[in-house]
Amino acid sequence: MKKHILFSSGSLRMGGLERVLVEYLNKIDKDKYKITLFILSDFGEQDVFKKDIPEYIDVRFLKPEKLVTKTAYLKHNKKNLFNKMIYNLYMSLERHTLKKNFVKNLKEIEKVDVLIDFDSGLTKLSKETKDLKKIAWTHNSLPNLLKKEKKIKKRGIRLDNYDKIVTICKEMKEETENIYPYLKEKIEYIYNPFDFERIRREAQSTEELTSDEKKLLDDDYILSVSRIDKTQKDYPTLIKAYKLLKEKGIKQKLYIVGDGDFREELGSIIKRENLENEVKLLGQKKNPYIWMKNSDLFVHSSRYEGLPTVLIEAMILGKIVVSSACPTGPREILENGKSGLLFEIGNENEFAEKIFLALNDENKRKELEENMEKRVREFTADKSLEKLELVIRELGDQNNG
């Protein structure tokens, strides 16, 4: 008899976490497992990955699009006390709706063997999930994500309600064990799965491209792909490093694929530095791989991460990576500089030096390319699924015990 696995996650919008979720849902053995998917928030047309969910998976949205859209609007328009009050009321309504619809849908579906809380979005619903065997997935460095000691402590209390806690790299596992030593026996790490064939196939596809974008592909360029936010991704350091490189005479342009709250401000920084003709903000792309494949180099400037999937995707496509040595992920992926180059967080001078080295030192490029070709084999989907199934079986053995 098939085990029934309930996956839960926040949305199906564009993002690294969502892309990994879809990878799991497409690769997990449907002959062994019946899969149900709860998505906490319905973002309508923004849920670009919805069409990539296999048809045999029962997908249920717990918060309706109208409510989610209204709350998001209020969040960005808290200009006075009245608007803040209305926003807080809608947040309370969202919490109530989530709890009510989670309980309702859980009763409607077949008995669940294991709940996989893929973005740890259900940590506040411990009472409603107390009778389920469950796994919490952690995708980011917790100290950097939560920052305040009180929040970190509260997260540990909530994680203790889970039977297993999955981190997405060894470094994050060790970090989590150090923060919560009492959870050590529950913590596992599983690398994100990657479909090498799909990534390489999509890297050949020009279907999404406009005629102007096809022309951009012919230029020599350095590429960055991520959400454009104010803090985590640290684009100001990338722009400063790129300006230093232009002063050194490099010919490559800088393309940035992604979108986010910081995009307008980033555009102002680019304009202020007189780099409008050199730095291109390309916006969100469903297929970033065509841009990776045609780039000269892949760069990443984050202050903190989980396991940045874009680094591995770039390596699968044979691209040398220059990344910040942020917690967690890049050091582990790039083997402390053996399979890619690392620079100190926020250090634009070192960042520029490493980019210049990667672009101009042929011997170094050859060495990095040989090492990263071996390294990426550790991130195949088969290995990740094998570890996930082992964790599921362990929980099943606990049930039987």
Q: Tell me: do 122 and 211 sit in the same domain.
A: no
Query: Is residue 301 over pLDDT 70?
Result: yes
Q: Tell me: do 144 and 286 sit in the same domain.
A: no
Cβ atoms of 54 and 24 closer than 8 Å: no
Q: Tell me: do 172 and 46 sit in the same domain.
A: yes
Print the domain residue range for 182: 3-192+380-400
Q: Tell me: do 13 and 62 sit in the same domain.
A: yes
Q: Tell me: do 290 and 344 sit in the same domain.
A: yes
Q: Tell me: do 330 and 395 sit in the same domain.
A: no
Q: Tell me: do 227 and 161 sit in the same domain.
A: no
Whole-number pLDDT of residue 222: 97
Q: Which residue has the higher pLDDT, 394 or 184?
A: 184
Whole-number pLDDT of residue 8: 97
pTM here?
0.75
Mean pLDDT over each residue of the chain, to the nearest integer: 92
Give the helix/strand (H/E) hosting 59: strand 58-63
Read off the pLDDT of residues 240-257 as tens digits, 9 standing for 90 and up: 999 999 999 999 999 999
DSSP for 181-199 reads GGGGGGEEE-PPPB-HHHH
Whole-number pLDDT of residue 176: 92
Read off the pLDDT of residues 56-97 as tens digits, 9 standing for 90 and up: 999 999 999 999 999 988 888 877 788 888 999 999 999 999
Q: Tell me: do 212 and 333 sit in the same domain.
A: yes
Q: Tell me: do 228 and 149 sit in the same domain.
A: no
Span 291-315, average pLDDT: 93
Q: Which two tokens stand for residue 376?
A: 């990426």
SS3 content of the chain, % helix, strand, coil (to 5): 50, 15, 35
Whole-number pLDDT of residue 397: 66
pLDDT class of 398 with cuts at 50, 70, 90: low
Read off the pLDDT of residues 331-347 as tens digits, 9 standing for 90 and up: 999 999 999 999 999 99
- Which alpha helices (DSSP H) does 109-234 contain, by range? 142-146, 149-159, 170-179, 196-202, 211-217
Whole-number pLDDT of residue 3: 93
- The CA distance from 379 to 309, in Å, is 10
- The CA distance from 10 to 22, in Å, is 13
Percent of the chain with pLDDT over 70: 98
- The CA distance from 228 to 237, in Å, is 13
Span 31-56, average pLDDT: 95
Span 43-64, average pLDDT: 94
Q: Tell me: do 156 and 185 sit in the same domain.
A: yes
pLDDT class of 201 with cuts at 50, 70, 90: very high
Q: Which residue has the higher pLDDT, 227 or 143?
A: 227
Bond from prior residue into 328 cis (ω within 30 degrees of 0): yes
Query: Is residue 236 over pLDDT 70?
Result: yes
Whole-number pLDDT of residue 399: 57
- The CA distance from 354 to 299, in Å, is 10
Whole-number pLDDT of residue 330: 93
Q: Tell me: do 156 and 219 sit in the same domain.
A: no
| Closest of 77, 88, 154 to residue 123, by C-alpha | 154
Query: What phi and psi, each to the nearest 5 degrees, are found at residue 76?
Result: -90, 5
Lowest mean pLDDT among 36-50, 134-148, 172-186, 246-260: 134-148
pLDDT class of 52 with cuts at 50, 70, 90: very high
Whole-number pLDDT of residue 146: 63
Query: Is residue 10 over pLDDT 70?
Result: yes
Residue 167 sits in a domain of what CATH number? 3.40.50.2000
Q: How many domains does the chain have?
A: 2
Q: Tell me: do 127 and 163 sit in the same domain.
A: yes
